[in-house]
Amino acid sequence: MRIAVYPGSFDPITNGHLEVLKRSLRVFDKVILLLAVNPAKKANFSKDERLFMMKEATKGLNGVEVDSYAGLTVDYCLEKGAHHLIRGLRAVSDFEYEFGLAAANEFCSKDVDMVFFMAHQGESFISSSMINELASARVDVKSLVPEAVDVLIRKKYGEPITHR
C-alpha cells in the first residue's frame, strides 16, 4: 500500500488544500491529512476546531485519514510506514520555503521523499492566512473553503458584509 502524509497547520483547511489532497489520492492508496501541531505558532482556530474542520471537509473521500502530531513530521511518517510527504506549491516563494524543508527532512531521514503538487491557477492565491485576513475584514470567503469551515469562520468573525 502506498501511504503518504499531507501535513499542515490547516488554520483553516481551504479548497486549495482539498484540491491537492484529491489529486494526491490519484497517486497514493492512503493519504493521512496531518495537523502538524506547532506550539510556537499562534493559530486562529484551536486544535480541536481544526481537526473538526479537516474531518468534515474530507467526509466521503476514500483513502483519507485525519490525524494530528506534535513532533517531527518525518518521525510520524516513519511510524506510519509512509515514505512520501505531500506538499502544495502556489508560488515561487512557496518553492523557496519547501526546498529548505525538503533538505531538512532529507537530513533527518532519507526514507521519506517530498512530493509536490502545483496549485491550479485559480487557487494559487488561496492560503489559510489569506482566508483569515479576508474573513476578519468580513469578506465572504464561502467559495474558497469547505462548508464546515465557512460555518466556523462566520461564528468567529461574524457575517460577511454583503455590499462587497
- Report the distance separating Cα 61 and Cα 57, nearest Å: 9
At residue 146, what are phi and psi to the nearest 5 degrees? Answer: -65, 160
CATH match of 3-125 with 3.40.50.620: yes
What residue segments make up the domains of the chain, in order of their start?
3-125
Within 10 angstroms of residue 34's Cβ, the number of other Cβ atoms is 24
For the CA atoms of 62, 67, 71, 73, the dihedral, rounded to the nearest 10 degrees, stands at 10
What is the tens place of the pLDDT at every residue in 49-61?
999 999 999 999 9
Higher pLDDT, 8 or 93: 8
What is the tens place of the pLDDT at every residue in 98-144?
777 777 878 878 899 999 898 776 666 788 989 999 999 999 999 99
Catalytic residues: 17, 41, 90, 128
What is the tens place of the pLDDT at every residue in 3-26?
999 999 999 999 999 999 999 999
